[in-house]
Structure 1
Amino acid sequence: MDAHRRPLMDRTPALLVEGYAWLPDRMRDSTRSVLRTRLLGRPALAVRGPDAVRFFYDESHVHRHGAIPAPVLDTLFGQGAVHTLDGVAHRTRKELFLPLLEAGRVARLTEHVTEAWDEAVRSWSGRERVVLFDEAAVVLTRGVCEWAGVPPRAVDPQTLARDLVAMVDGFATPGPRHLRARRARTRQETRMAGLIEEVRSGEVAAPEDSVLERVARHRDTGQGPLDPRTAAVELLNVLRPTVAVSWFVAFAAHALHRWPAHRERLRAGDAAFATAFAHEVRRFYPFAPFLGGRTVTELTWHGESVPAGGILLLDVYGQHHDEELWGDPYTFRPERFLDRPPGPDELIPQGGGDPAAGHRCPGERVTVGLLEALAVRLARLECTVPAQDLRIPLRRVPTRPRSGFVVTGVRAP
């Protein structure tokens, strides 16, 4: 048998052990940025690079329906979520989200979050120790719930923040973190489904054209309103990714601690630099290791093939640290994005392609806007960073600074 076509060993156990390095390490020896492997019992083809991003997001190549493993649906996205749909069904469901993410609405969300941040900082000044990751999650929860029209009586920000963080933290790992994520999703889907029913019955008045009101009245093509559980899933798919920005806030604090020279331009309110800094945080620090989809037909990329029903993987972490794309990928250098904005198929922490028609996360603009604003506030934060474990383990997915980034002696402005 041709050695090139011998049955491939399933690499799922290695992925669970190696984390972010699993795919880049195996692709390092490839001169064509492509790799044949086996994952979750299926043949898989891993690709990388802007051309590969366009190949990956071609709907004639890859479908999401049936591609996302059940453990990920049961924790991160939710059963029946927009992420599981394709074609017309996907575009129709996505219309629920796109108007919410126009520039004016993103600006209002940023205002709600920064007001919550400024209020929180005043309370931190009386505390001995503050874990920025945890506090950022609560701040983001308060801000996004107010913006989304979720009534204060319906949620406890501390509990909701903890559950939304758990959904993200446990999607990619077995064990206690995964069990916490499942329990958190069940708890919040039940709570939000009840809220949807209260809105529909008139018991709760949702602000006109708010996220809550839009989710409650949305109809897929040729169907009635979403069932309460699916509506709850989609409401959480606005709240959860916003609160996931807490990962990037912790990374931004880590970057400012390691490279404090960047503080001056952020403190001065240099808007262009704040945008470049946000992009570099999203590129440099690890979040999604890769993206995957189920192949519709046999696909060939740079001479390597995967059959229909296999898996096509897009190496996100490897692409963000590709020397051909970035020149000095392991140097944290926001200035690279002052020279030119990132190409849509180069920087892909929220996916690639067209957010209006494809599977790129429409919330990317929210992530960038919030990170710009909060990076400026982090640069202006008067505090002490005590000795702590700031290592970022690449075996943990999703990872973050081990300490959560602790600060002491916060001085209110």
Structure 2
Amino acid sequence: MTNSRQMPKEEGLDHSLTLLREGYMFLANRRKSFASNIFETRLLGQKAICMGGEEAAKLFYDNDKFIRMGAAPKRLQKTLFGVGGVQGLDEEEHRNRKGMFMSIMTPNHLERLNRLTQKYWDIKSREWEQKDQVVLYDESRELLCKLACEWAGVPLNEGEVKKRTEQLTKLFESASALGPEHWMGRHARKELEDWIGELVEQVRNSELQPPEGTALNSFSFHKDIEGKLLDKEIVAVEVLNIIRPIVAISVYITFTGLAVHQYPENKPRLLIEEEFLQMFVQEVRRFYPFFPATIARVKKDFIWNEFQFEEGTLTLLDLYGTNHDPHLWDNPEIFNPDRFAQWDESPFSFIPQGGGDFNMGHRCAGEWVTIEVMKVSLQYLANKLEYDLPNQDLSYSMVSIPSLPHSKVIMANVKSK
């Protein structure tokens, strides 16, 4: 290959442990030290290209240049995503599966989600009034587990709520873990997939009839590119790819509670300006850590900006760093919802849950779900509830993934307004 230049390169045999030690800042630190939005390193025993910024995101989401098949490490498939899930598919197979997800992201289904979110916040609010104090992260996980299952058409008995909540939490809390915590995540996934798999069989045998248009109903009868029903194991993986991310919104809700507390000057506008709710939610998603990066492999040899990309090379896109890139965001380390008043809605500069096109690309299908749930949750935390935040450690780590305020936001004396 000709007409290429040397990519900045981090020396050393492997930097996987360093990535775990530096967490969200691993990619951003090196982009800064190399004064380059692209560099080469070694991760998981292999060469890896790391990129960040808007132009890099546009490249990363070019389906002619990158594939997802075989990109995610097995440890992520065995905990976070599930084996055979939509995140690891490409081309026609991906379009078929992504269409299955997008079919439940209609205005009517999202409106139903909104109503259910309000329903479960009302229930939780009444429960909290009977307690001296509650932990927002723990309570919101349980709230979202109930919400996710009902929205997805998955029956959930009250007696199993805590069990399923903890299992679903382990899927995203163990994704970057080592040792026993990782193995607990794998065990939780197996139990969850067995549970959903049995429900899929019941649906197909007409023993269970979830509401039409719900994930359990639609996915159970979805056909692949060959016109065949998906294996029940794959349906289980994909139903969990609806439920698990909704439960993970608890991380964002906890940071939303933190932001309401730390930036009280915004509360008057949150009460009277509907559009400001959306701006505030978007700034929470931009400002606080959620996913550090996303991963793919080079589809075929090509040259970009005179840098050589070789087929099969592991490639990481810096999500957190792009959302804090000073070339894209004015004063990115300042929490400022007003920045979204004039935002151009670029799908490549603001990428907390990935970038690119919803329908044809690998942008998270559940991003609308996240925003809808967060907006309702913000209404309660800012406008519909009164509560105190006792002295606690509200700092958060930039190493732990997912990051959370250390106290997980303790609320006391909760009352409905």
TM-score by length of 1: 0.95
For structure 1, the 5+ residue unaligned runs are none
Question: Is 1:22 paired with 2:41?
Answer: no
1:25 CA drift (Å): 0.7
- 1:152/1:398 CA distance change after superposition, 3 Å: closer
Q: Do 2:11 and 2:41's aligned partners in 1 also have CA atoms closer than 8 Å?
A: no
Residue 55 of structure 2 corresponds to: 51
Cα separation, 2, equivalents of 1:89 and 1:335: 40
1:289 aligns with 2:278: no
Distance 1:306 1:161, change over 3 A: same
CA separation of 1:93 and 1:154: change in aligned 2, threshold 3 A: farther
For residue 173 of structure 1, report the CA deviation from its aligned partner: 1.8
Q: Which residue of 1 aligns with 2:145?
A: 141
**Counterpart-to-counterpart distance in 2, 1:106 and 1:12:** 39
Q: Distance in 1 between matches of 2:102 and 2:7?
A: 48
**Which of 162, 178, 193 is the equivalent residue of 2:166?**
162
CA contact (8 A) 2:117 2:376 kept: no
Aligned counterparts of 2:209 and 2:219: Cα–Cα separation in 1:
13
The corresponding residue for 1:275 is: 278
1:60: which partner in 2? Answer: 64
Unpaired runs of at least 5, structure 2: 1-5
**Residues 93 and 225 in structure 2, CA contact (< 8 A), matched pair in contact too:** yes
Kindly provide the amino acid, as one letter, of the partner of residue 373 in structure 1: V
Partner of residue 247, structure 2: 243
Relative to structure 1, the CA distance from residue 331 to residue 197 in structure 2 (aligned partners, 3 Å threshold; closer, same or farther) is same
Q: Which segment is superposed worse, 316-325 or 159-168?
A: 159-168
For 2:262 and 2:132, how far apart are their aligned partners in 1?
A: 23
Write out per-residue CA displacement over residues 128-158 of structure 1, whole angstroms, 9 at most, x where no aligned residue.
2201011111111212222222224498222
The 8 Å contact of residues 33 and 47 in structure 1, kept in 2 or not, is answered as yes
Q: Retained in 2: the 8 A contact 1:75–1:171?
A: yes
Q: How far is 1:408 from its partner?
A: 0.9
Mapped partners of 2:309, 2:177: distance in 1: 26
TM-superposed CA distance for 1:277, in Å, is 0.5
Superposition CA RMSD, Å: 1.8
Q: How does 1:2-401 map to 2 (within 5 A)?
A: 8-153=12-157, 156-268=160-272, 270-380=273-383, 381-401=385-405
Are 2:47 and 2:313, in contact at CA under 8 Å, matched by a contact in 1? yes
- Matched to 1:289, the amino acid is P
CA distance in 1, matches of 2:78, 2:158: 23
Task: Give the total of aligned pairs.
Answer: 411
Shift in Å at residue 33 of structure 1?
A: 1.2
Moved over 6 A (4+): 2-7
Code of the aligned partner of 1:266: L
Change (3 A) 1:5 1:312: closer
Task: Tell me how far 1:6 sits from its aligned partner.
Answer: 9.1
CA 1:26–1:200 in structure 2 vs 1: closer, same or farther (change >3 Å)? same
- Against the structure 1 CA distance between its residues 247 and 3, is the aligned structure 2 distance closer, same or farther, given a 3 Å change threshold? closer
Q: Distance in 1 between matches of 2:170 and 2:318?
A: 24
